[in-house]
A and B are shown apart, each in its own frame.
Chain A
């Protein structure tokens, strides 16, 4: 659909990865090798190095920048503000969230307009109000904090992966506020994934405390 407010390119353009030389294509190895290590050498329950910093955006009421391995996310909180329309007035406050991938942030270039996946992430954040840990379920073990390659393999159904589980956990209340699962797995596998998620949330919480209290 032509977007008159943005500069448009050609109607159709292709990711050069589609034409990759056969010698450079990834060999589609399994997600876990014989020693039980992942493609990037991590153990299944290991999270990538985390970097967190708050206050980088001085226009916002609060902001945070987080790096999980090579994944970089910036968040800013503005408010409290008045509701834009009188008919939206509620007795209690409302939290809205807008999540957007930058166009250059994924292997396949993203459009400028928010698509369904981004809208779903936005509503997940609103529901959760907490940090989440994504898991990839593989066989009888869970791969915590999947990298982009691992997620793509799960999506393509290769390497024996069964699906994705995202767990949102409030550590001070010891409550799981939201679980989102895709793929096919047995209930026992799902509960194992949720337990692994809670454990990783607790580790992340410890790291966050160090950053916020200094």
Chain B
């Protein structure tokens, strides 16, 4: 009976869970949580699913990570290759990001070239990493000669259960932190690579995405795939995290997108940004623990 209702009227099914007794509470500043409303998986509107991260398990990659956010599973690998620097700006390397949503991840994906959704995720990740100087391409130059590193950052979604954007950014961040480049010695004319001596990448700060979906009058953190499909609008905040005296500091905002109805008052948007900074701090702490760098 319940499954019939869910299949025939999915939006009403979700709304029944989220209904709040006092509609005036919905947009008032400071009362983000719907006191009586829960989502179908038992979470409150501002509660996220459990996150696990595992780094360095792909031996063929220079850096790798596997991230699980609830049912969404995403893996990222970084491979470094050598090339000549670009002609236009001769003193930097390359960073090439691609996000792949294969047929493995969802029943809605068919084999073929990347969909607009995949392309938009790739472009968002690439633009954020370059424009926020998360990876400084000037550091990818090797020696004084015409040689540079090309970092190929490939993210593959293994299971799409909603909120792929957050998982993609977290996996990319974790993989970059895990990446180490072999040392290249150019003193003898031709390059000599040493795999035994490796050095980590210089990463001033790293991006973490926190997404919300706007369903009717509710704002849901970390939506799963059914909530995402039923939502009319989305908000994504990219927070930049860097280490300050061994602890993560998440104050800078590296990107904000808000699309679709309903429109939000600016105070509400600022509140979402503050919440995103707090969540980014939790994710950054988790990453620190996973990479073994946490100092207590």
**Chain A contact residues, CB within 8 Å of chain B:** 3, 5-10, 12-17, 19-21, 24, 56-60, 63, 70, 72, 74-76, 78, 81, 84, 98, 100, 102-107, 109, 112, 148
Contacts and interface: CB of A to CB of B under 8 A. Distances in A.
A104 B79 contact: yes
A10 B89 CA distance: 13
A74 B156 CA distance: 12
A59 B72 CA distance: 9
B83 interface: yes
11 contacts: A5-B114, A7-B97, A7-B98, A9-B152, A14-B83, A16-B82, A72-B58, A84-B110, A104-B79, A105-B77, A106-B60
Given A24-B194, A59-B106, A102-B154, A19 B82 contact: yes
A19 B152 contact: no
Given A14-B83, A15-B81, A78-B103, A59 B161 contact: yes
A107 B195 CA distance: 13
Contacts of B122: 6-7
Interface stretch (B45-53, B185-193, B204-212): B185-193
A59 B71 contact: yes
B159 interface: yes
Interface in B168-207: 182, 184-185, 190-196
A20 B119 CA distance: 35
B79 A103 contact: yes
A58 to B, nearest CB: 5
A63 B23 CA distance: 43
A212 B266 CA distance: 53
Given A21-B192, A21-B193, A56-B159, 13 more contacts: A6-B98, A9-B94, A10-B86, A13-B83, A13-B94, A14-B83, A19-B190, A59-B105, A78-B107, A100-B102, A102-B100, A103-B77, A103-B98
A107 B61 CA distance: 8
Nearest to B63: A104
Contact of B159 (A58, A70, A81, A102): A58
A60 B184 CA distance: 45
A129 B152 CA distance: 34
Given A6-B98, A7-B123, A16 B182 contact: yes
Chain A at the B interface: SS class: loop
A102 B81 contact: no
Interface of B: 57-61, 64, 71, 73, 75, 77-84, 86, 94, 96-98, 100, 102-107, 110-111, 113-114, 119, 122-123, 126, 150, 152, 154, 156, 158-161, 182, 184-185, 190-196, 225
B84 to A, nearest CB: 7
B100 A112 contact: yes
A57 B75 CA distance: 13
Nearest to A57: B159
A12 B34 CA distance: 54
Nearest to A8: B96
A6 B152 contact: no
Contacts of B71: 58-59
Contacts of A12: 83
A105 to B, nearest CB: 6
Which 8 A-B pairs give the minimum distances between C-beta atoms?
A104-B77, A13-B81, A9-B96, A13-B83, A104-B61, A103-B154, A57-B159, A16-B193
A59 B107 contact: yes
A5 B119 contact: yes
Contacts of A21: 185, 192-194
Contacts of B86: 10
Nearest to A20: B193
Contacts of A5: 113-114, 119
Contact of B75 (A24, A58, A102): A102
A106 B79 CA distance: 10
Contacts of B60: 104-107, 148
A14 B81 contact: yes
A14 B142 CA distance: 14
Nearest to A9: B96
A102 B156 contact: yes
Contacts of B81: 13-16, 109
A81 to B, nearest CB: 8
B195 A109 contact: no
Contacts of A60: 104, 107, 159
A177 B61 CA distance: 35
Contacts of A109: 79, 81, 152
A98 B159 contact: no
A16 B60 CA distance: 13
Contacts of B182: 16
